[in-house]
């Protein structure tokens, strides 16, 4: 078998975020691409396209690397939480739970998915800047840690937790004032953010919570962004967080957990050069340990929330090529049977990906093409100005790095059904999310009786 990724000198088998293909991707004897021992062309034939494919080994490797790096570099207790907004499903929840990870959720749907997928309530945290009463109550009933994001959360929980009941387990989120060089729409750590309390609010909030019988503040949380390739901002974050930890403990809060969020970047294209998972964990671990030691503080439990770096590179999407349009001297469009409804990131963030023909992954480039989606939107373009081999309608295209924020951000634009998802391992492909059917999209539509009468 050959490494499918001809653009790299080798695969990083311990840090999947540094490969744009899954770590099990290989070329079989017929010259076709396979992942998890499964021929992707046959999978496309069996399950149809577009199709999300997840490699189980890559996900488990990333989970194990986070878990073992925390044990290696952090002398205190630790827990990695899967940021399930990246890709939420029963199967992924079950998988990460089996690897000893917790999970963070931001909605009732993500909470239910985690719980039914086998994640224990004590290992779940609930985020969100506008949580409903129902979400807060559900989290409280299952012993889930609720991340207090604003004054509204405090006011609602004061009503929800009845007098004499067990207090709610809380974590306080604040903006640390650290910016990273990333897309402005996914920055969350700077002061101008919809998330978390501002630094100048912290002391008054901590004093207020200390006097609340319904509240048990156990942790602190901050997050500085996403798809980050720099390590220094995370080192700075640990200093800021331990300062707040010191303040909270001096005000009488038994803070046990310090959650530094996530944000480690991944490799989407050749020019991306993210740190390894172990390098990232080493920086945050050493940062927290050093900051606590200098202040004479007992070590908290260190928590982090990887999402993209756990699942993105484990995933790829299969499409079939369709129509071709040549504009002489300008551009050649080749359309596929999916697009912005199964991958909204290119049109939303101008995100870039790598792709190849499944049955001819090493075929030399012969033309420059643009891969267009099938939606009625001029901006529905998945890959622009791609050097590519000559191709024909019906061939299967694999787009790499789609395991995060594709299925979870997908839509039914143009009333196009969402794709199925299969997970592959040891030559077996198993369905973990069924393909929607066009008729499924009608099940929640209602025609008022008076419309029928008028007709």
User: What pTM, to 2 d.p., does this model score?
Assistant: 0.95
Residue from 63, 94, 180, 376 carrying the catalytic annotation: 376
Residue range of the domain that includes 48: 2-52+316-441
CB 229 within 8 A of CB 274: yes
Place of tokens 């996914």: 186
Largest CA distance in the chain: 77
CB atoms within 10 A of CB 252: 12
Q: Residue range 194-205: average pLDDT?
A: 95
What would the mean pLDDT of 361-388 be, rounded to a whole number? Answer: 97
> Among 285, 306, 327, where does a domain finish?
306
Predicted pLDDT at 182: 63
Task: Find the CATH number of the domain harbouring 192.
Answer: 3.20.20.10
Per-residue pLDDT reduced to its tens digit, 256-290: 999 999 999 999 999 999 999 999 999 999 999 99
Q: Would you say residue 28 has pLDDT above 60? A: yes
> Is 304 a residue of the active site?
no
In a domain, 143, yes or no: yes
Note whether 271 and 407 are same-domain residues. Answer: no
Instruction: Tell me, yes or no, whether 65 lies in a domain.
Output: no
Q: Which of 284, 306, 328 is the last residue of a domain?
A: 306
- Find out whether 242 and 291 touch, Cβ atoms under 8 Å: yes
Question: CA-to-CA distance for 390 and 397, rounded, in angstroms?
Answer: 12
Which residues share a beta bridge with 27? 2, 33
Length reported for the chain:
455
Question: Over 80: is that where the pLDDT of 396 sits?
Answer: yes
- CATH number, residue 18: 2.40.37.10
- Residue whose C-alpha is closest to residue 310's, from 24, 127, 96: 96
Q: How confident is the model at residue 183 (pLDDT cuts 50, 70, 90)?
A: low
Query: Going by C-beta distance under 8 Å and a sequence separation of 6 or more, which residues neighbour residue 320?
Result: 44, 49, 336, 337, 394, 395, 396, 397
Cβ-Cβ contacts under 8 Å for 243 (sequence gap 6 or more)? 291
Q: Are residues 256 and 194 in the same domain?
A: yes
Each residue's pLDDT tens digit, 276-328: 999 999 999 999 999 999 999 999 999 999 999 999 999 999 999 999 999 99
- Express each pLDDT in 95-137 by its tens digit: 999 999 999 999 999 999 999 999 999 999 999 999 999 999 9
363 and 425 inside one domain = yes
- pLDDT score of 323: 98
Helix (H, G, I), strand (E, B) or coil at 319: strand
Q: Is 257 helix (H, G, I), strand (E, B) or coil?
A: strand
Last residue of a domain, one of 306, 341, 361: 306
Total domains in the fold of the chain = 2
pLDDT bracket for residue 3 (50, 70, 90): very low
Of the candidates 32, 45, 10, the one whose C-alpha atom is nearest the C-alpha of residue 429 is 45
Rounded to whole angstroms, the Cα distance separating 126 from 139 reads 7
Mean pLDDT of 387-410: 97
For residue 273 the two structure tokens come to: 């050069």
DSSP one-letter code for 31: S
């Amino acid at each position: 078998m050959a490494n499918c990724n001809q653009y790299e000198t080798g695969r990083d088998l311990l840090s999947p975020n540094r490969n744009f293909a899954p770590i099990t991707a290989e070329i079989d004897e017929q010259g076709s691409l396979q992942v998890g021992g499964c021929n992707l062309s046959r999978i496309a034939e069996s399950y149809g396209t577009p199709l999300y494919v997840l490699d189980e080994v890559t996900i488990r490797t990333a989970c194990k690397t986070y878990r073992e790096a925390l044990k290696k570099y952090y002398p205190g207790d630790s827990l990695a939480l899967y940021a399930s907004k990246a890709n939420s499903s029963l199967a992924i929840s079950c998988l990460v739970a089996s690897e000893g990870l917790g999970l963070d959720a931001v909605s009732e749907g993500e909470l239910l998915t985690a719980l039914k997928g086998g994640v224990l309530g004590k290992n779940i945290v609930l985020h969100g800047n506008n949580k409903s009463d129902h979400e807060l109550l559900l989290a409280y009933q299952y012993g889930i840690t609720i991340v207090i994001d604003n004054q509204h959360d405090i006011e609602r929980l004061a009503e929800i937790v009845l007098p004499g009941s067990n207090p709610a387990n809380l974590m306080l989120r604040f903006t640390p004032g650290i910016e990273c060089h990333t897309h402005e729409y996914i920055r969350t750590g700077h002061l101008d953010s919809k998330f978390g309390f501002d630094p100048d609010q912290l002391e008054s909030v901590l004093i207020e919570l200390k006097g609340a019988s319904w509240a048990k503040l156990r942790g602190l949380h901050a997050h500085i962004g996403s798809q980050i390739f720099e390590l220094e901002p995370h080192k700075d974050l640990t200093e800021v967080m331990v300062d707040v930890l010191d303040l909270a403990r001096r005000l009488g809060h038994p803070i046990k957990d310090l959650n530094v969020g996530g944000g480690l970047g991944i490799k989407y294209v050749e020019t991306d050069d993210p740190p390894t998972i172990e390098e990232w964990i080493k920086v945050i671990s050493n940062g927290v340990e050093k900051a606590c030691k200098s202040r004479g503080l007992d070590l908290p439990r260190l928590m982090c929330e990887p999402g993209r770096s756990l699942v993105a590179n484990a995933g790829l999407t299969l499409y079939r090529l369709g129509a071709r349009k040549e504009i002489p001297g300008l551009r050649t469009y080749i359309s596929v049977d999916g697009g912005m409804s199964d991958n909204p990131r290119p049109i939303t963030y101008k995100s870039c990906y790598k792709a190849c023909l499944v049955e001819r992954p090493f075929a030399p480039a012969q033309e420059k093409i643009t891969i267009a989606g099938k939606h009625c939107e001029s901006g529905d373009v998945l890959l622009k100005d791609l050097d590519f081999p000559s191709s024909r309608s019906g061939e299967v295209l694999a787009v790499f790095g789609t395991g995060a924020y594709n299925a979870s951000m997908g839509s039914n634009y143009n009333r196009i059904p969402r794709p199925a998802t299969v997970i592959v391992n040891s030559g077996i492909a198993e369905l973990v999310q069924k393909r929607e059917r066009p008729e499924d999209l009608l099940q929640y539509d209602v025609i008022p009786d008076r419309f029928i009468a008028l007709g």
